[in-house]
């Protein structure tokens, strides 16, 4: 029995439809055309996950700036149910963690998780994320509508010599 291969690939106009279909299946919310247009510009911040050459997952992030600090926002990170618990989510999240580590100028990584999605909460906690707040009525048209904000603080290693304000 050969070992399964998990690989990450770029999102391109040619496979964007696969990303759309995957997100429709995996997430209870739908994403608009602007979301997908932005994803095509995201480069390393958007990846499809392949399990033995089949698209089974994807991660899509964007860079937010708050009070002068760069934060990476994980908009979506998901995997088709039959392929969960096989290291695919971990591979996608490790890609994101490596990206921010190499960049060296991010304050934190954050995301929203539906309050009843315990498996996602447990997954992120394994990687050092913590629940920092709960937003009521975050989601429209899905129950429960509340979302936890999970965050992982990073230590930016650029601008270390700046004095604290």
The catalytic site residues sit at 73, 112
Token code pair at residue 119: 């498996």
Q: Are 128 and 119 in contact (CB under 8 A)?
A: no
Neighbours of 119 (CB within 10 A): 10
Query: Given the structure tokens 């270390």, which residue do they identify?
Result: 160
- Identify the DSSP state of 82: G
Q: Are 6 and 91 in contact (CB under 8 A)?
A: yes
**DSSP helix/strand/coil, 102:** helix
Please report the DSSP string for 107-154 in residue order: SEEEEEEETT-HHHHHHHHHTT-EEEEEETT-SSSSSS--EEEEEEE-
């Amino acid at each position: 029995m050969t070992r399964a291969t998990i690989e990450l690939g770029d999102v391109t106009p040619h496979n964007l439809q696969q990303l759309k279909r995957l997100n429709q299946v995996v997430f209870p919310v739908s994403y608009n055309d602007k979301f997908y247009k932005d994803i095509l510009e995201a480069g390393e911040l958007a990846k499809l996950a392949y399990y033995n050459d089949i698209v089974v997952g994807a991660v899509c992030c964007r860079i937010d700036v708050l009070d002068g600090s760069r934060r990476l926002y994980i908009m979506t990170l998901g995997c088709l149910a039959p392929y969960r618990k096989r290291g695919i989510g971990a591979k996608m999240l490790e890609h994101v963690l490596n990206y921010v580590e190499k960049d060296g100028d991010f304050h934190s990584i954050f995301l929203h998780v539906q309050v009843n999605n315990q498996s996602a909460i447990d997954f992120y906690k394994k990687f050092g994320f913590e629940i920092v707040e709960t937003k009521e009525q975050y989601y429209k048209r899905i129950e429960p509508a509340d979302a936890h904000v999970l965050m992982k603080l990073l230590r930016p290693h650029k601008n270390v010599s700046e004095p604290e304000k």
